[in-house]
Structure formats: C-alpha cells, structure tokens
C-alpha cells in the first residue's frame, strides 16, 4: 500500500449514518473528515426503506466532503445483523516459487483455498480473517511473506451473510453514487478500537448498544470467536419515555440525551425539565429521578438479555470482563448499572481520536483501522477513496481543508461507465 493514502468508512446505523475520512500515514490513521446524518430508512439494524437510506447516506457524505473540500468516490462499508455467521476455515497450498520464498501470490492462493467449502445458496462469503499462518509446521505466524518454506497453511474465520441483506446494503451505497471498496464486520471493527490485545487474548465480552439493536461479541486468544445481535437498543428506551411522559418520540429522544440517567440511586431529583404533552400545548414538569426509573428498567432488561446470550454461547465466565460501547453510552449511569448486573469488571470504551471522541463513532473508526490492517495481511490494494487525493499528497504540508479546485460530487449523479450491479458483486467476491 502507499505510504500515505485516504480511506473512507461508512456505518449505516438505525439512528444515524456516520462517515469518517481517515488519512493513513506511517500505519497511523488520522481523522480529517466526519459526516453524520439522521437515518430514517433503518429499523433494528435492517433496511426498510431504500430511498430514505440513500438520502441519509448522501447527506452524511456531503457533510464529510465539505470538511475536506474533496469528493468521496469509494467507501468501506460496515455490516452487521443476525444474518452474519462465523465458521472456522483451513487452507493448504504448496509454495509455488522455485526459491521456496513465500510471496503475495501464495498468501492469496491459501486464502482462496480456505474458502473451498459448501455454502448454502442464500448465503454470501464476505471475507476471510486469517488467525494464523503455518509454514512447514511452524505455527502462530501473522505474515509469512518473505519466509522460506514448502507447505503453507492458513487457519482463519470465514464470514458469511445473507445475500438479500448484503445486496440491499450495497444497492443503497451504489444508488448514493459510491463504490464499495471493501466490507467490514461491525464486531471486528468495534473490537479494533474498543479492546486491547490483552483483553482479546484473555477472553472478553464486547457489548455495542446502538439505537435499534445490541451486538454482543466474544473475543478469545486474540480473535473474534462468536457474535450475536439482540433486537433491543436505545430506541426502546426512547419509546418507553415517550409513553411514560406522553410526548413525541423526538422530544423523548432529546430528553433522554439531555436529562437521562440510567442509575436510579445517583439520579438528581432537583434536575427538572418541562415536556410538551402530545396532542396539546400543555406543559408538564418532570425530574431526572422519574425518567431514571424508566431508563433503568429498560436498560436492565437489555443487560439481562446480554447475559443470557453470553450464557447461550457458552461464555458464562469472562476473565477479561465486559466492555461497553455504542451511542447509548453517552447517558450517565450506564456503567454503574452494568456493574450491578454483570457483577464483574466492566468499562466503557470511547475513541480517543480528535473529532470522534464519542462512543457512537467506535464502529466507524474501527472500520478504517481493521480494514487497513486486514488489507496489509491479505495483500489487498485499495483504490483512491477521494477525488483529488494525488494533488493533496504532493502538498502534504498544506492543511487538507485548504485544498481548492477539487471537483465536487453531485449527490444524485450516476457514475460514468457504471457496471451492472450483479457484475460488480461478482467481480468483488470472485476476482
């Protein structure tokens, strides 16, 4: 890969679509652009309205483009859902070079060999994540290129998803005037930012609570072992507040973020606010303790479902404890309630990069970091993600925001020489 390049991640969430533009320099990602937009075409992590989802993607892309004054062409898309499945895979090839030096071609062949297995026709292979390479019996190798050997093996994780779900997401991205550079699994992306290597090795549970769903993932021996999605999230708390306060969901969401508290014991009774009753102009006054009762009850239920899911997956005891992330972590008291429920070590993870220091950006930032690291291992070459990148690289001393005379992408303009949708899918997965 180039010494310095620009990558763009796209996270289509239930409440918000998030775009992050990252400049990779010396294996470090610097955030240079961020875009967010309200997402109204998603329910519980699944697309229910393509047109509204496309509109939300375009709004987020336009916002990020204005920050860097360049047009986004290609994105790395984060996907999630209960249709995602993980399974172990194994590939073996003979080293092809006469000198027996392992090169990129050998790595590519062993990754392809690991995918030779029966997959149901309704499922699609998204990616293969190498766990380790084995050269002539020597295991625990992370990158075998340049080594000498006769037999190359790879043990990894094969990620598959439902064709319908994947194609709907890719169709939305294509209709927004973008090309899919790569696809990244959300639990892998979140783990890249939220978890330390020691936690992944020891055994840790990652809980990502979004608006429409909660994703639970388990890491052990440094790799993702299992993941599952619970169809409960922040929207359920908002609906409970809307019913309890007899107000609109929009006002209930604002109250949740501004005055909400998830732990009744530490809520402040003097912290009061007024609410407009739905269907009238009447104003009612409530305090933080009253809404903390509602929030705590629903969040406690979500935590209980999380515990049940980890028990079902066979991980009742986690030496590394639990790590919480996601947009709901902005509410005070979530960590106190979690410690009461889980009865073990719990912490909240928030990205540390400037401009994205909020838990809702964990997946978006992690998508860039994981995709870049995984591409290096597999030898993938990413194309230019932004128009005018070459000029920006030649004048790196100038701030990105001052780059001028860059062609702006028209949100609804169709790309020239566009290939058919199915052909692009085939090229992406089978090239």
* Residue among 16, 52, 49 at smallest CA distance from 34: 16
**Domain-located, residue 418:** yes
Distance CA 14, CA 378 (A): 31
**Domain-located, residue 353:** no
> What are 335's two structure tokens?
């960590």
The domain total for the chain is 3
For the chain, the average pLDDT equals 88
CATH number of the CATH domain containing 339: 3.30.420.40
Point out which residues pair with 340 in neighbouring strands: none
The string of pLDDT tens digits covering residues 67-123 is: 999 899 999 999 998 899 999 999 999 999 999 999 999 999 999 999 998 899 999
Domain residues for the domain of 68 are 4-81+164-189+358-430
Judgement on whether residues 212 and 296 belong to the same structural domain of the protein? yes
Q: Quick one: how many helices (H) and strands (E) in the chain?
A: 12, 18
Distance CA 59, CA 172 (A): 13
Judgement on whether residues 228 and 313 belong to the same structural domain of the protein? yes
The string of pLDDT tens digits covering residues 141-183 is: 999 999 999 999 999 999 999 999 999 999 999 999 999 999 9
**Domain-located, residue 14:** yes
- Of 146, 162, 178, the last residue of a domain is 162
User: pTM here?
Assistant: 0.85
DSSP string, 146-176: T-B-SEEEEEEEEEEEEHHHHHHHHHHHHHT
Judgement on whether residues 96 and 111 belong to the same structural domain of the protein? yes
Judgement on whether residues 255 and 311 belong to the same structural domain of the protein? yes
Distance CA 181, CA 291 (A): 44
Distance CA 78, CA 415 (A): 22
Please, what is the angle between helix 104-114 and helix 362-378, to 10°?
110
Judgement on whether residues 59 and 182 belong to the same structural domain of the protein? yes
- Secondary structure class of 402 (helix, strand, coil): helix
> What are 292's two structure tokens?
């903390």
Distance CA 431, CA 426 (A): 8
Judgement on whether residues 137 and 255 belong to the same structural domain of the protein? no
CATH number of the CATH domain containing 148: 3.30.1490.110
The string of pLDDT tens digits covering residues 263-298 is: 999 999 999 999 999 988 889 999 999 999 999 999
Between strands 322-325 and 346-348, the pairing is: parallel
CA 38, 42, 47: angle at the middle one, nearest 5?
135
């Amino acid at each position: 890969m180039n010494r310095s390049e620009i990558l763009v991640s796209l996270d289509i969430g239930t409440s918000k679509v998030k775009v992050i533009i990252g400049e990779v320099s010396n294996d470090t990602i610097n955030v240079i652009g961020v875009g967010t937009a309200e997402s109204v075409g998603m329910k519980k992590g699944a697309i229910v309205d393509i047109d509204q989802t496309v509109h939300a993607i375009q709004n987020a892309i336009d916002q990020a483009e204005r920050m860097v004054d360049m047009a986004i062409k290609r994105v790395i898309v984060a996907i999630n859902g209960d249709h995602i499945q993980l399974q172990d895979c194994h590939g073996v090839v003979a080293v092809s070079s006469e000198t027996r030096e392992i090169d990129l071609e050998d790595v590519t062949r062993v990754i392809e060999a690991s995918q030779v297995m029966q997959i149901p026709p309704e499922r699609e292979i998204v990616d293969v994540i190498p766990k380790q390479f084995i050269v002539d019996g020597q295991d625990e190798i992370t990158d075998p290129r340049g080594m000498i050997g006769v037999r190359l093996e790879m043990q990894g994780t094969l990620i598959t998803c439902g064709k319908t779900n994947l194609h709907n997401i890719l169709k939305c991205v294509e209709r927004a005037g973008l090309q899919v550079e790569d696809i990244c699994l959300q639990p892998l992306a979140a783990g890249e930012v939220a978890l330390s290597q020691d936690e992944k090795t020891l055994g840790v549970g990652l809980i990502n609570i979004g608006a429409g769903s909660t994703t639970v993932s388990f890491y052990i021996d440094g790799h993702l072992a299992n993941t599952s999605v619970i169809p409960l999230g922040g929207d359920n708390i908002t609906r409970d507040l809307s019913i309890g306060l007899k107000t609109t969901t929009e006002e209930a969401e604002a109250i949740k973020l501004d005055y909400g508290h998830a732990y009744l014991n530490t809520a402040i009774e003097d912290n009061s606010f007024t609410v407009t009753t739905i269907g009238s102009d009447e104003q009612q006054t409530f305090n933080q303790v009253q809404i903390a009762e509602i929030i705590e009850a629903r969040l406690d239920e979500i935590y209980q479902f999380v515990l049940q899911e980890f028990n079902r997956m066979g991980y009742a005891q986690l030496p590394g404890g639990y790590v919480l992330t996601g947009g709901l972590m902005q509410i005070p008291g979530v960590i106190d309630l979690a410690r009461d429920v889980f009865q073990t070590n719990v912490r909240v993870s928030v990205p540390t990069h400037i401009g994205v220091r909020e838990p809702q950006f964990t997946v978006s930032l992690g998508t860039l970091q994981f995709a870049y690291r995984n591409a290096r291992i597999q030898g993938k070459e990413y194309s230019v993600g932004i128009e005018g990148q070459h000029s920006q690289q030649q004048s790196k001393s100038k701030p990105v925001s001052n780059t001028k005379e860059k062609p702006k992408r028209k949100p609804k303009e169709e790309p020239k020489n566009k290939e058919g949708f199915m052909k692009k899918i085939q090229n992406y997965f089978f090239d």
